[in-house]
Amino acid sequence: MTAKTFDAIIIGAGQAGPPLAGRLTAAGMSVALVERKLVGGTCVNTGCMPTKAMVASAYAAHLARRAADYGVTLSGPVGVDYKAIKARKDKVSNDARGNLESWIAGMDKCTLYRGHARFVAANMVRVGDDVLSAGKIFLNTGGRASVPDLPGVHDIDYLTNSSMMDLDELPRHLVVVGGSYISLEFAQMFRRFGSEVTVIEKSPRLIGREDEDVSDAILSIFQNEDITVHLGADDIRFARQGNDIAVTFSAGKAAAVGSHVLLAVGRTPNTDDLGLDKAGVEVDKRGFIVVDDQLRTSVPGIWAMGDCNGKGAFTHTSYNDYEIVAANLLDNDPRKVSDRIEAYALYIDPPLGRCGMTEAAVRKSGRRALVGQRPMTRVGRAVEKGETQGFMRILVDADSNKILGCSVLGPGGDEAIHCVLDLMYAKAPVSTLARAMHIHPNVSELLPTIAQELKPLA
């Protein structure tokens, strides 16, 4: 068996793979980049880009229906052309993937292999008829939607976040199983497209990792848009009912009958078919590749980046993984995963921006803390835009005056959160934020005001 030899092999062309290939080839290394499906991974093809394009369409429809609230008169009812929405979404995704493919094609000393890579040995993989070897191998294989083994689930035609992107028709009634980030984005957008929507969540509240008042506020937002939400739903079952699908729960006491069912109950790493045992790469009980603080696996010369390592489930954590690996390998810069601050957004409308610790986590830590909070009803920019649902909260360590965390649920929350996140990275005291002059009128201009009004967390 004669192998083609490279300096590095990268398995997966998601958010970490291509930029790492760019850095390695720029450093003079030969790179084999392997992708079994679509260049760009989840973000470009079935995640961030296409879904946020659809969120934008859903927002436009929602705003148009509220035209009268702004003194704008429409000549007729607001209509939604779902095929046009899908075509716009597809163009956004296809353009991004095409640009990425062109960039990779222009990399000197980078060879793109299309196919499924499997380990033959710790320094060798097979892709179709090709065998590749390298002293450095980087895994960026991502994840996929988990399919729960619930009664009747294999008897129905269910959807996942990926197959939702292929729908050519607008569901009459979409039943969403799961009450977390992906499920909530789909639920609201399809309600705004005109579908009847029911959300079924087994936990007692939505997005259980957030503070209870955040969960309550999001539930209220959904109820205001006539989205039916069932919480505490146990014993979930599925059955065909004519052309529809019946979803029962709580021992059959309640049911939702929908035309389509979306399963959004978590993610599974794409690690089960890589032949990791042939390389000796350790995985945990959930299938995530075990890595250290600099993303090295249990086998010298093999690294794991992105969703497959369980260190983050976002595009930005995957890209940051690439930055950490590149910094250590090429820049003599000992960056590590533990340096980063947890930060993410929920892209419903209004969006939630989050960084650092929740209030519940601060309380559990037992430290003395300060808190400042303001509802969007008292934020001028939100009032002017007619978008006053939600609130902002900042948490501060009472002894060091360092910011512990922040939540911004409201217009521009996904952008405004970075005012606080950057200060946390700078390890600046909250007084830096309190003394800052922000631009008026803006949602984020109230963050300094909140920082001036801190009170002990009771």
Pick the closest to residue 292 from 327, 321, 266 (CA basis): 321
- Which positions ≥6 away from 195 have C-beta within 8 Å? 170, 171, 172, 173, 174
What Å distances lie between residue 53 and 40, 127, 142, 351, 430, CA to CA? 16, 34, 22, 15, 36
SS3 155: helix
Instruction: Record the tokens describing residue 444, joined without a space.
Output: 């984020």
Q: Is 173 a catalytic residue?
A: no
Rg (the chain; Cα; Å): 24
110, 33 Cβ separation under 8 angstroms: yes
Dihedral over Cα of 98, 103, 105, 110: its sign: negative
Q: Is 313 exposed, middle or buried (0-12, 13-18, 19+ CB in 10 A)?
A: middle
215, 207 Cβ separation under 8 angstroms: yes
Pick the closest to residue 338 from 303, 304, 308, 293 (CA basis): 293
Which one is catalytic: 62, 154, 260, 440? 440
Instruction: Record the tokens describing residue 170, joined without a space.
Output: 């607008």
70, 62 Cβ separation under 8 angstroms: no
Quickly tell me which residue has 């993610």 as its tokens: 267
Give the DSSP letter string of 11-69. E--SSSHHHHHHHHHHTT--EEEEESS-TTHHHHHTSHHHHHHHHHHHHHHHHHHTGGG
Please give the positions annotated as active site: 440
